Chain A
Amino acid sequence: GAVVSQHPSRVICKSGTSVKIECRSLDFQATTMFWYRQFPKQSLMLMATSNEGSKATYEQGVEKDKFLINHASLTLSTLTVTSAHPEDSSFYICSARPGTMTGELFFGEGSRLTVL
């Protein structure tokens, strides 16, 4: 299957700082990528849809100024958690879909963010 790479896998930061997470599609081009957040022992919550060359589409309740998404190329999307607080601590997972719209999503390995 297609490969999606996510970096870093773990990051610890101080409250008030910003953290950037990268998501790359390694063997396909992705005009659209998706960012999910997963709380402990809970399901994945879609945060936003990242569109190459245009603004991201955020789900209801997700602060776009807090979670900045940039999709500058067909293989890279970044999520920046700005002015992070402890409540932003979570597991963030990106995904992308190659090919046709019927295809499955391929997921990165996730990024564990801990804000102290």
Chain B
Amino acid sequence: AQSVAQPEDQVNVAEGNPLTVKCTYSVSGNPYLFWYVQYPNRGLQFLLKYITGDNLVKGSYGFEAEFNKSQTSFHLKKPSALVSDSALYFCAVRDGSGGGADGLTFGKGTHLIIQP
């Protein structure tokens, strides 16, 4: 079975400061990892993904994430936070070896609050 842990319910960051939203995963095969953002009463928007290759992945809106196989982590980062980044962020995983569900397994989400 595959699972995702987002240990922080909420992360507070001052505008202009760097931000990190943590994610760890568990999967039996090759991890396909994703970050999504959700604004209130809206669907999820894709930010970035790691499938293979460079461990540092760059995505939309200036976000990036680093795949760390030994720590089974895929933390989301941004060098300088904007107030408009305030939203709910989901980390998700799928077993790329075909041993798990075809749909994504999501973490419980982290509320990111950027303070002006």
Contacts and interface: CB of A to CB of B under 8 A. Distances in A.
B102 interface: yes
Contacts of B96: 102
Interface size class of B (residues with CB under 8 A): 20 to 34
A43 B44 contact: no
A67 interface: no
Contacts, number: 53
Chief secondary structure at chain A's binding surface? strand
Interface residues of A, number: 24
Contacts of B102: 32, 34, 49, 101
Interface of A: 1, 4, 6, 32, 34, 36, 42-44, 46, 49, 91, 93, 95, 101-102, 104-110, 112
Interface of B: 32, 34, 36, 41-46, 49, 51, 90, 96, 101-109
